[in-house]
Every structure is written in C-alpha cells, then in structure tokens.
Structure 1
Amino acid sequence: MECFRIDESGYTGFDLLNAEQRFQGAAAIAITDQDAARLISEHFPKLQAPELKYRALSRRPANHPRLLSLQRDLLTHYKCVTYVCDKRFLLVLMFADYAVEPFYYERGLDFYENGQNYAMASLLSVAGPTLLGQPAFDGLLASFQHAVKDKTPEALNALVSAAQATKWRELPEALGPLAQYAAPECLSAIATPGVNTDAAFVVLQSLISRMEVMADGPYRVEHDQSKNLRAYHDLLQRFIDHDNEVEFRQSEIATIKFPLKLTEVTQVDSKTSPAVQLADVMIGAAIEAGNNLAGLRSGGPDPEAVLSLYSDNQFIHMIPSIEFEEQRHFRQGTQAAEVIDYFSANFHAPREG
C-alpha cells in the first residue's frame, strides 16, 4: 500500500502569535525508506549524524547546493505536497469566522460567498495595524486568542473592550459586531466548546485534500513520534474513522471527500525512517524560506531558489492577499460555510489548547 511520510514545523498549539515561529506547516512525501536512504546517500555521502536534519544541514553554506538538489529530486520524481501558513493571518481569519461572521449570518448575509471572509481577513492583516492602531490591533488579536482558549465571561468582556480600544470606526464592517454591538451571537460562537485556535486542523485539511488526489488508491501515513505530532496523529485518526459519505468544494483547486482513501496512520522513530527525514527536509526548507522572505530570519538556501522548485500543485500557502478580484475568482462557488459547519459538528471535539 502506498505510504506518505509526514513531518511538521512551527507548531505552537493554540498560540498563533508566537513571535519566534511565525509560520507553521507540514510536508507529505510518498517515498519508500529504501529510495529515501539511497537519495540521502547520493546527496550527502559524508553524513556522520544518526539522521538527516534540515536545521543542522542548512547552517552550513556548503550544504545548500546539496539541499536544493535533494529537494529537486524529490519534487521531480515523487508525489509531494507542502503546506505553509502565516499563523498571524490564520488567527485573523479565525477572528473573521467567529467574531464577525455570526453577526452577518443572523442578518441573512452569506459572509463566505466567493471568499469574502478571506478578503476581510487579508484587509485586516495588511491594513489593520495602520487603520486601527498597531498596539490596539495587537491587543485585539491577543484578547481574541485568549477568549477562544478560556471562554470565560471575563475573557469575552476583555475581548469586547479590546475591540472598542481600536479605531474600529475605520473598519466598522469588521470590528463593529464586537465594538459597537458586543454581538451575543459572536461571543457565543467564540465560547462554543471545541472551537480553538490550533492550526494543526487547518494544516491537515490541506495536506489531506492533496494526498487524496495524488493517491492511486487506499494509502497510509507515517510520521515521527514527536510531541507536536500527537495532535496531528489524533486528527488523522478521526478523519480515517469518519465514514459519512460527503464531498465539499473548498476552492478552485481543492475538494475534500469522505470516506477518505486514507486507511491507517502510524508513528515511527525518525532515526529509523529515512523517508520521514526527507519530509523534515521539505518542510524545514519551506518554513525557512518563508521566514527569510518575510525578513524575520536570514541564512539557509536562497528562498527564491527553494520555492522555484515547486509546481503549483505541490505547494499550498495561506498568506494574506489583497488581490481581491483574483481571490474572488479562486473561491467563487466554494462551500466554505458548509465546510465550516460540517467540520465543526463532526471534528471539533473539546480539548486543552
């Protein structure tokens, strides 16, 4: 049975404002341990470490050409997908989903039509600090994250106060539901058990949508035994166990259909799995490229060279975009509202952040 190996990077649980880790993502590769070991030997014949680790290799400029060559081989000859999201943008998108959308839903408006939620979140991400005031906007996001986690009346009241402390009249369409009306429907959505700001769910949804397309038939997933991947493991198992027959269109290029072709998920020791080590290389390179392009870090292979290796269907990213017409076309006719309702009802079980 075909097997995709998965590794992640940048996981910080509920905290999407972690300044040290702006990006989160995961990579999946359909490759055998035998092929992976051969590629590692070919590209790094003098490797002395017990396992291939991207972070250690990227520190030495002499390794950069080898890392690029290895990734080129993987992306050319094997089924691969890499997903990277800007966690701050994802938090703003969640704000739009829970602190804004219910207000419009109660008034009969489809906030998700043609990706309007993405447009608003992008506008807030790009222009929010300037229009609303940088410290106040940062405080709003922190208060929203805290309210989603704690769900107490005190945390919800603090969120309303944080919205009122911004220059919310500059963007009343986005901030008015909280700042002007303290909309009970929005506060109720935030306080719903199971609603959280953990990005693992979003990352896995995207990976699965591509693995399901790439897989020729039933397939399985292997991943490392790291603590961070426990959240991914539990979610994957819940996806596997879900046997309802349903299909949703998420964007111009992405759909998700249940039951999945995915039949099994297992944990392995990365030291004994060359294939998992290559997944670490793929996601490590993508996250480092994102940090470099955002001006947050320096070092490692040329980020433009890294990203140029990918074809369009091998790389998924979630970052703000103010190309509103392009985004409208990309998300036209999608079932975003139905997807959120369905996944909230079937997969968002309460758990600690």
Structure 2
Amino acid sequence: MECFRIDESGYTGYDLLNQAQPFQGSSAIAIGDDDAARLIQEHFPKLQAPELKYKALSRRRGNHPRLLALIRDVLQNYKCVTHVCDKRYLLLLKYVDYAVEPFYFDRGFDLYKEGQNYSMASLLYYAGPGVLGREAMAALEKAFQDAMKLKTSESLAHLVTRAQAADWQALPEAIGPLAQFADQECLEAIATPGVTTDIAFIILMALITRMEAMAAGPYRVEHDQTKNLATFHDILQRQIDHDGTAEFRQSAIAALRFPLKLQEVTQVDSKNSPAVQLADVMIGAAIEAGQQLTGRVSEGLDPDALMGLYADDQIIHMLPSLDFAGQRAFRQGTQASELMDYFAKHFSG
C-alpha cells in the first residue's frame, strides 16, 4: 500500500499569535525509507548526526546548495505536497467564522459564497491595524483568542468591550456584529464546546485533500512520535474511521470526497525513518522561507530559489490576499458552508 510520510512545523495549539512562530504547516511525501536513505546519502554523505534535521543543516551556509538539490530531487521524483499558513490570518478567518458569520447567516446572507470570508479576513489582516488602531486591533485579536479558549461570560464580555473600543465604524461589516449589536448568535458560536482556534484540523485536511488526489488507491500515513503530532494522529484516525458518503467542492483546484482512500495511520521514531526526516526538511524549508519573505529572519535558503522548485500543485498557501476578484474566481461555486456543516456534525469535539 502506498505510504505518505508527514511532518509538521510551527504548531502552537490554540495560540495563533505566537510571535516566535507566526507560520504553521505540514508536508507529505510518498517515498519509501530506502529511497529516502539513498537521497540523504547522496546529498549529505558526511552527515554525522543520528538523523537529518532541517534547522540544524540550514544554520550552515555551506549546506544550502545541498539542501536545495535534495528538495529539488524530492519535488521532481516523488508525490509530495507542502501546506503553509499565516497563523494570524487563520485566527482572523476563525474570527469571521464565529464572531461575524452567524450574524449574517441569521439575516439570510451566505458569507462563505465565493470566498467572501477569506476576503473579509484578508481585509482585517491588512487594513485592521491601520483603520481600527494597531493596539486596538491587537487587543481585539487577543480577546477573541482568549474567548475561544476560555468560553466564560467574562471573556465574552471582554471581547465585546475590545470590539467597542476599536474604531469599529471604519469596518462595521466585520466588527459591527460584536461592537454594535453584541450579537448573541456570534457569542454562542464562540462559546460552543469543542470550538477552538487550534488549526491542526485545517492543516491536515488540506494535506488530505492533496493526498487523496495523488494516491492511485488506498494509502496509509506515517508520522513522527512527537507530542504535537499526537493531535494530528487523532484527527487522521477520525477521518479513517468515518464511513459517511459525501463530496464537496472547495475551490477551483480542490475537492474532498468521503469515505477517504486513507486506510491507516501509524507513528514511527523519526530517527529510524529517513522518509519522515525528508518531510521535516520540506516543511522546515517552507516555514523558513515564509519567515524570510516577511522580513522576520535573514538567514536561510534563498526563498526565491526554493519557491522556484515547486509546481503549482505541490504547495498550498493559506495567506491573506487583497486580490478580491481573484479570490472570488478561485472560490466560485465553493461548498464551504456545506463542508463546514458536515465537519461540525461528524468531526466536532
């Protein structure tokens, strides 16, 4: 059975405002351990460490050409996909989902139609600090994250207060439901048990969508035995156990069909799995490129050289965009609302 090896980077649970780790992502590669070991030996014949670790290798400039060559060989010869997202943007998408969308739903307006939720979150991401006030926007984001975690009447009231304290009239479509109306449907959505800002589910579902498209038939997944990946393991197992029949269009290039081809998920020690080590290299390089392109770090692989290695279907970005027309075209006919309802019914909690 075909096997995809996966690894993650940047996971901070519910905390999407972590300044040290602003990006989160995961990579999946359909490669066997023998082929992976051969590639590692070819590109790093003098490696002394017990396993290949991207962060350790990237620190030395002399390793950069070999890392790029290794990544090129993986991308050109094996089925693989990498998913990277901006965590603050994902927090704002969650804000739109729970602190805005229920208000519009009650009034018969589908905010998910043609990706309008993505456009609203992007607008908040870029324009929010300027038009609402930088400190007020930061306080609103933190209050929302806290309310989603704590779900107390005090945290919900504080969130409304933070919305009212911002110059919300500048963006009434996004802030008004809380600031002007303290909308009960929105507050109840935020307080729903099991609802969280943790985006592991989103990261994995993006990977699953691509693995399902790449796999010729039934396949399995292996991942490292880390605490962070324990959350991923549970999510993957729940997808395997689900036997419902459904299909959803997500965008111009993505669709998801249940039941999945995914049959099995197992944990392995990455020291004994060269294939999982390559997944670490793939996601480590992508996260580092995001850090460089946003000016957060200056050292690492040339991000332009790295991104130039990827085919369009090998990388998934969940990043804010002000190309609203492009967003509408990309998400024309999306069944996002139906998909979210399906997830809430079968995979919540």
TM-score with structure 2 setting the length: 1.00
Correspondence for 2:17: 17
Correspondence for 1:162: 162
Amino acid of the structure 2 residue aligned with 1:328:
R
Amino acid of the structure 1 residue aligned with 2:99:
A
Deviations 1:242-262 (A, max 9, x none): 100001111111111111000
In 2, Cα distance between equivalents of 1:250 and 1:231 = 24
Identity percentage of aligned residues: 68
2:297 partner SS? coil
**Match runs of 1:184-223 below 5 Å:** 184-223=184-223
1:31 partner SS? coil
Amino acid of the structure 2 residue aligned with 1:165:
A
Amino acid of the structure 2 residue aligned with 1:172:
P
In 2, Cα distance between equivalents of 1:33 and 1:298 = 33
Amino acid of the structure 1 residue aligned with 2:29:
I
Deviations 1:172-220 (A, max 9, x none): 0000000000000000100111110001000001000000000010000
1:16 partner SS? coil
Deviations 1:19-63 (A, max 9, x none): 000000000000000000000000000000000000000000000
The answer to whether the aligner puts 1:119 opposite 2:119 as a matched pair is yes
Correspondence for 1:263: 263
CA shift for structure 1 position 340: 1.0
The answer to whether the aligner puts 1:103 opposite 2:106 as a matched pair is no
Correspondence for 1:330: 330
Q: Which runs of 4+ in 1 moved over 2 A?
A: none
Deviations 1:243-302 (A, max 9, x none): 000011111111111110000000000000000000000000000000000101121110
CA shift for structure 1 position 345: 1.6
In 2, Cα distance between equivalents of 1:171 and 1:21 = 28
In 2, Cα distance between equivalents of 1:23 and 1:340 = 23
1:82 partner SS? strand
CA shift for structure 1 position 342: 1.0
Correspondence for 2:319: 319
CA shift for structure 1 position 348: 1.7
In 2, Cα distance between equivalents of 1:127 and 1:297 = 24
**Match runs of 1:38-187 below 5 Å:** 38-187=38-187
In 2, Cα distance between equivalents of 1:306 and 1:22 = 19
In 2, Cα distance between equivalents of 1:29 and 1:249 = 24
**Match runs of 1:219-298 below 5 Å:** 219-298=219-298
Correspondence for 2:27: 27
Gap regions ≥5 residues in structure 1: none
In 2, Cα distance between equivalents of 1:182 and 1:325 = 31
| Number of residue pairs aligned between Structure 1 and Structure 2 | 349
CA shift for structure 1 position 230: 0.5
In 1, Cα distance between equivalents of 2:206 and 2:152 = 31
1:7 partner SS? strand
1:220 partner SS? strand
Q: CA RMSD in A?
A: 0.5
In 2, Cα distance between equivalents of 1:344 and 1:287 = 29
Correspondence for 2:301: 301
In 1, Cα distance between equivalents of 2:206 and 2:15 = 20
